[in-house]
Amino acid sequence: MNDSTHESTVPTAVRILAAAEEVFAESGYAGARVDEIARRAGVNKAMLYYHVGDKAALYGGVLRTYFQLLAGKLADALAGSEDPRERLRRLQVAFADTAIVHPHFPQIMLREIAAGGANLPLEALQGMGRFMSATREVVEDGCARGVFRADVEPLLTHVMVVGSVVFAANGLRLLTRLAEAGVATPEVPYDLPEIARLANDIILNGITSEGVTS
Amino acid sequence: MNDSTHESTVPTAVRILAAAEEVFAESGYAGARVDEIARRAGVNKAMLYYHVGDKAALYGGVLRTYFQLLAGKLADALAGSEDPRERLRRLQVAFADTAIVHPHFPQIMLREIAAGGANLPLEALQGMGRFMSATREVVEDGCARGVFRADVEPLLTHVMVVGSVVFAANGLRLLTRLAEAGVATPEVPYDLPEIARLANDIILNGITSEGVTS
DNA sequence: GTCTATATACCGATAGAC
DNA sequence: GTCTATCGGTATATAGAC
């Protein structure tokens, strides 16, 4: 314990990764500048390479944080209920919560989807695979129990559950830009958890078998 | 009329823009290399600047093609029916059709959403604004007629309608990458129009008032 | 209209002094 | 651990000959 400021107590590697997260989100992997990351972290560029490593190591370190948190929340979500509708809702909440703790996560994911995952290390690809498998498990279980319609596609369900959160999380920046340019935009009278809840209502309402009530 | 091959009859500017479309989709605005665009178009870099202009002009030219086609299809979709459910379906089909004619369109849009529209010229921003307004008009009309639930959010509806198509259109590359890395992936037994139809069924089912039947 | 050559600037990464 | 200086490569964009 000493009298140093909060900033100085944060390990250098953590400050570097926090800066990397910002820059990768804003500019993408190709567009990100290592000099800019070092500048925002308040460290010399040589120190950045000393503490964390090259550009790929910076990116991998950022992604590891995201997928470790998401994996834990997904496991809790699956274990927390037996009802397929409740489990699907919890799956979406787990992802939305991760996006709230790490606001740059959906932005970086959006860029990677566009890039076809070209920059993603194996660890991140496996994390995405586990997420898709979790959704598939919930959907197939729900179909088998007769709660969801038998023709519900697991992958489309995943796309709609995740996509609505990812788009909603990224939409505000675009709406701000549209407003700056003088383009009329619809109002956004709700926050991310609320959007996730509304989207989940629509999806559940859309895939639930007739006759099943909550 | 002469005996020249098809390739030589295509105007130089068109070939340049076609190459630009590819490279911008693959690498994003920041990551795109003008040299690479010139190489793929089969023209000298100086000629590229002579015929089309700088990087921003290349990007604007690509986007203009997209939004001009989309605007026409949206107008047809809105004018083609009075039924809110049918109009919302036509709106999604209009976008999906545009994405099928121009497969790089959803990829570039995904990158721009991540970038908050930072690279978009005013013309493209206005095109997006008109699209959002079209969805809002259909949703508000549907709510007023009692076809859609009164609490349906226009912007969330737009996000789900557009997002499902954009994600589906971009998903195949990511699934391919996952398979390459040995990560298990769900099957994809349908094409883009089919996905759009299934997503639209879920959304319409989710937002339609009880008691309304098709 | 077409090309070569280049100006100008920047980037990722490291060597080497301290 | 920390910094300065720099290497080697590459980017956008243009000048100027033909």
> Do residues B135 and B157 lie in contact, with contact meaning Cβ atoms separated by under 8 Å?
yes
Query: What number of CA atoms fall less than 13 Å from residue B22's CA on the CB side?
Result: 12
Residue A15: its pLDDT value, please? 98
If phi over 0 gives left and psi between -120 and 50 gives alpha, with beta otherwise, what is residue A67? alpha
Res. B207 pLDDT band, cuts 50 70 90: very high
Which of B95, B159, B166 should we substitute to test contact with A (largest number of A Cβ atoms within 10 Å)? B159
What one-character DSSP code corresponds to residue B113? Answer: H
Compute the nearest-CA separation of B63 from chain A (Å): 16
pLDDT band, very low/low/confident/very high, at B187 (cuts 50, 70, 90): confident
Q: Which residue is nearest to nucleotide D13 (CA to C1')?
A: B54
**Integer Cα distance of B163 and B166 in angstroms:** 5
pLDDT tops 70 at residue B15: yes
Q: Angle, nearest 10°, between helix axes A55-79 and A122-144? A: 20
Question: What does the alpha-carbon distance between residue A167 and residue A192 come to, in Å, rounded to a whole number?
Answer: 10
Q: What is the mean pLDDT of residues A13-33?
A: 97
Residue range B140-144: average pLDDT? 98
Compute the distance between CA of residue B135 and CA of residue A15 in angstroms, rounded to an integer: 43
Task: Look up tokens 């990397």; give the residue.
Answer: A20
Q: What's residue A8's pLDDT?
A: 59
Angle between helices A105-114 and A12-31 (to 10 degrees): 30
Output the pLDDT for position B186. 84
Q: Tell me the pLDDT tens digit for each residue of B53-70.
A: 999 999 999 999 999 999
Domains and CATH numbers, chain A: 1-53 (1.10.10.60), 63-207 (1.10.357.10)
In terms of CA atoms, which chain B residue is nearest residue A189? B153
Give how far Cα B45 sits from Cα of A21, B49, B57, Å: 35, 7, 14
Residues in CB range of B48: below 8 A, 6 or more apart = B16, B34, B37, B38, B41, B58
Report, as an integer, the average pLDDT of A94-110.
98
Instruction: Answer whether residue A55 shows pLDDT above 50.
Output: yes
| Joined tokens for residue A130 | 């586990």
pLDDT at B71 over 60: yes
> Does residue A181 belong to the interface with chain B, where contact is any CB pair within 8 Å?
yes
By the 8 A CB rule, do A152 and A207 touch?
yes
More confident: B189 or B120: B120
Confidence of residue A186 (pLDDT cuts 50, 70, 90): confident
Position B35 pLDDT exceeds 50: yes
Whose CA is closest to B125, among A181, A37, A165?
Answer: A181
**Range A64-72, long-range pairs (CB < 8 A, 24+ positions):** A64/A123, A64/A124, A65/A17, A65/A102, A66/A98, A66/A102, A66/A105, A66/A108, A66/A124, A66/A127, A67/A123, A67/A124, A67/A127, A67/A128, A69/A98, A69/A101, A69/A102, A70/A94, A70/A95, A70/A98, A70/A127, A70/A131, A71/A127, A71/A130
Query: What's this model's pTM, rounded to 2 decimal places?
Result: 0.94
Nearest chain B residue to A181 by CA: give it.
B122
Chain A hits for B171, Cβ within 8 Å: 113, 155, 159
Q: Kindly compute the dihedral angle of the four CA atoms of residues A197, A202, A204, A210, in this order, to the nearest 10 degrees.
A: 150
pLDDT value, residue B45: 98
The answer to whether the CB of B212 falls within 8 A of the CB of A173 is no
Share of residues in chain B with pLDDT > 70 (%): 95
pLDDT at B108 over 60: yes
User: Does residue B44 sit at the A interface (CB-CB below 8 Å)?
Assistant: no
Report CB contact under 8 Å: B177, A201. no
Cβ contacts (< 8 Å) between A140 and chain B: which residues?
A: none
pLDDT over threshold 50, residue B97: yes
Q: Does B104 touch chain A (CB under 8 A)?
A: no
pLDDT (0 to 100) of residue A9? 79
Fill in the amino acid letter for A135. Answer: T
3-state SS, residue A208: strand
Q: B8: pLDDT confidence band, cut at 50, 70 and 90? A: low
What confidence score (pLDDT) does residue A6 get?
A: 41
Burial (CB count <10 Å: 0-12, 13-18, 19+), residue A205: middle
Does A207 contact B at CB distance below 8 Å? Answer: yes
Polymer length in residues for chain B? 214
Lowest mean pLDDT among A101-110, B7-16, B140-149, B176-185: B7-16
Other residues' Cβ atoms within 10 Å of the Cβ of residue A10? 11
Q: Are A167 and B161 in contact (CB under 8 A)?
A: no
pLDDT tens string A143-170:
999 999 999 999 999 999 999 999 999 9
Average confidence score pLDDT of chain A: 94
Cβ-nearest to B203 among A155, A162, A206 = A206
- Taking contacts as CB-CB distances below 8 angstroms, the residues of chain A near B108 are 114
- Alpha-carbon distance of B177 to B32, in angstroms, equals 21
